[in-house]
Amino acid sequence: MADLVMGNVEAGTSDEDIKAFLVKYGFPPFDEIEHLPGNGSRPAVLLTFRDAPPEALSSLLPRVQDMFWKNRKIHVHIVNERYS
**Domains detected in the chain:** 2-79 (3.30.70.330)
Predicted confidence pLDDT, tens digits, the chain (84 residues):
999 999 999 988 999 999 999 999 999 999 999 999 877 778 999 999 999 999 999 999 999 999 999 999 999 999 876 554
> Could you give the CA distance from residue 64 to residue 5 in angstroms, rounded to a whole number?
12
Per-residue pLDDT at 82: 58
Per-residue pLDDT at 84: 45
Tell me how far apart the terminal alpha carbons of the chain are, to the nearest angstrom.
17
Per-residue pLDDT at 21: 97
> Could you give the CA distance from residue 38 to residue 57 in angstroms, rounded to a whole number?
24
